[in-house]
Amino acid sequence: MAEKILIIDDDVDTLRLVGLMLQRQGYEIIAASNGSQGLTKALEERPDLILLDVMMPDMDGYEVTRRLRKNPVTVAIPIMMFTAKTQLDDKVTGFEVGADDYLTKPTHPTELQAHVKALLARTIHKEPTDVVTASHEHHGYVIGVLAARGGLGVSSLASNLAAGIFTRTQSDVILAELVPGQGTFGLNFGAPNQKGLTEILQGSVVEVTREKVQASLVPHNSGIKLFLASENPRDITLTSQVPNYEALVTRLSSLARFVILDLGTGLPTFVQKVLPLCSERIVVLEGAPSTIQHTKLLIDDIVSLHIDRKSISVVLNNRQRSEAQMAWTQVQEKLGHSISSTLTPAPELFLQAERMQTPAVMCQPTNMTSQQFLKISDAIIEREKAR
């Protein structure tokens, strides 16, 4: 298989000429026209060598190299700086930030080919390092919780499942909310104004490292760890950063035995990409005709993502004491999908939990609704053991 070379240069002529020359030598060429694009392609393509310009408008080659060397996925990729900067100080800076070779423009094609060949020969036979990459990280059991529309209790279910699983296993459990601008856990659990998710989504995908995600986790006195979204509504625009979401979920799954994701409502693009990364999915609904119809469509759409229907559990959340509530058997028949669990109304329990800034199962473990949360938690634990 041909070695893969990533060329990062804002000069279109250099990209074309150098790329063509190396392609004729049998190398597979990938091109990026700026530093940010180069970082993304380095993470996605995992090239055997990076040929990097220094002078670029958005992010110079020194900064690109620093970020590549900080990321465990790209830390070992050899980097050759290929630039018109000829001063000794420039070369020294290049080597200090982590470059493996430094070649000045213009250069004869034969010289460039010799440097590329020598650098690849020095690195291609290196023994594997102990660096943990995305493909070698431990993957925990990831549960995605979502609903067809808002107000059905997604956050309540997610938080109480996290607390219930921790209570049963005493294992590392992460509760993460993934909708920026709609954070509630920070306010409910006494940790407001958190920017963990915002910072992850605002940066480049190459910066979504295990270490950065771990540093964003907030411990809670219940024993679970929180990964929190901001409360600022305008942050909702960050949901467009889909590659960052995929990297984030992968990193979270390497940091705990169980990861519970609050995915919010509907199927925006980032949720479509995250759901296949989950070990199982839980859809929340209530016994109202319109909600049942919306949920039926949601489940069908999830299945269209090539997700096994059997991996989708449905929880019927009866939030109000009312004779108008449908029986779970009626809901199941109309939904056309089995209902795995039912939650009974408990407004006093949730009011107390809010005052204590803790999940409901922690403040009244023997309450009927708390026991229902724990039963769902037990079923998840059994499925995790059996996988």
**Predicted confidence (pLDDT) per residue in 81-100, tens digit:** 887 776 777 778 888 888 88
Q: What is the DSSP letter of 60?
A: -
Q: Please give the pLDDT value at position 377.
A: 96
Return all residues near 244 (Cβ < 8 A) that are at least 6 apart. 200, 201, 203, 205, 208
C-alpha count within 13 angstroms, C-beta hemisphere, residue 139: 15
Give per-residue pLDDT as tens, 218-257.
999 889 999 999 999 999 999 999 999 999 999 999 999 9
Residue with tokens 């028949």: 333
- pLDDT digits 0-9 by tens, 65-81: 998 888 877 888 999 98
Query: Is pLDDT above 50 for 330?
Result: yes
For the domain covering 138-386, report its CATH number: 3.40.50.300
Residue in 294, 200, 286 with CA at minimum distance from that of residue 243? 200
Domain 4-124 belongs to what architecture?
3-Layer(aba) Sandwich (3.40)
**285 has which bridge partners?**
316
Confidence class for position 125, pLDDT limits 50, 70, 90: very low
pLDDT tens column, 291-323: 999 999 999 999 999 999 999 999 999 876 666
Question: For the residues of 130-195, what is the DSSP string, one character each?
Answer: S---GGGS---EEEEEEESSSSSSHHHHHHHHHHHHHHHH---EEEEE--TT---HHHHTT--S--
The pLDDT, as a whole number, for residue 133 is 42
Mean pLDDT of 149-158: 94
What pLDDT score was predicted for residue 321?
63
Question: What's the confidence (pLDDT) of residue 164?
Answer: 96
94 vs 63, higher pLDDT: 63
Tokens of 363: 């403040």
> Please, which pLDDT band fits residue 138 given cuts at 50, 70 and 90?
low
CA 22, chain centre distance (Å): 35
Both tokens of residue 124?
Answer: 């291609």
Residue 193 has pLDDT above 90, yes or no: no
pLDDT of residue 128: 40
Span 179-190, mean pLDDT? 91
Q: State the chain's mean pLDDT as an integer.
A: 89
In which band, very low, low, confident or very high, does the pLDDT at 277 lie, cut at 50, 70 and 90? very high
259 residue type, one letter: V
Q: Do domains 4-124 and 138-386 have the same CATH topology?
A: yes
Closest CA to 66 of 19, 98, 33, 24: 98
| Selection from 37, 385, 48, 43 nearest residue 209 by Cα | 43
pLDDT computed for residue 57 by the predictor? 83
How many other CB atoms sit within 10 Å of the CB of residue 102? 21
Tell me the C-alpha distance between 287 and 265, whole Å: 17
Packing angle, helices 109-124 and 12-24, rounded to 10: 70
The domains of the chain are located at 4-124, 138-386
Global pTM? 0.68
Q: Which residue stretches of the chain are H helix?
A: 12-24, 35-45, 61-70, 88-97, 109-124, 154-169, 185-188, 196-202, 210-215, 242-253, 269-274, 289-303, 328-335, 347-356, 360-363, 368-386
**CB atoms closer than 10 angstroms to residue 359:** 28
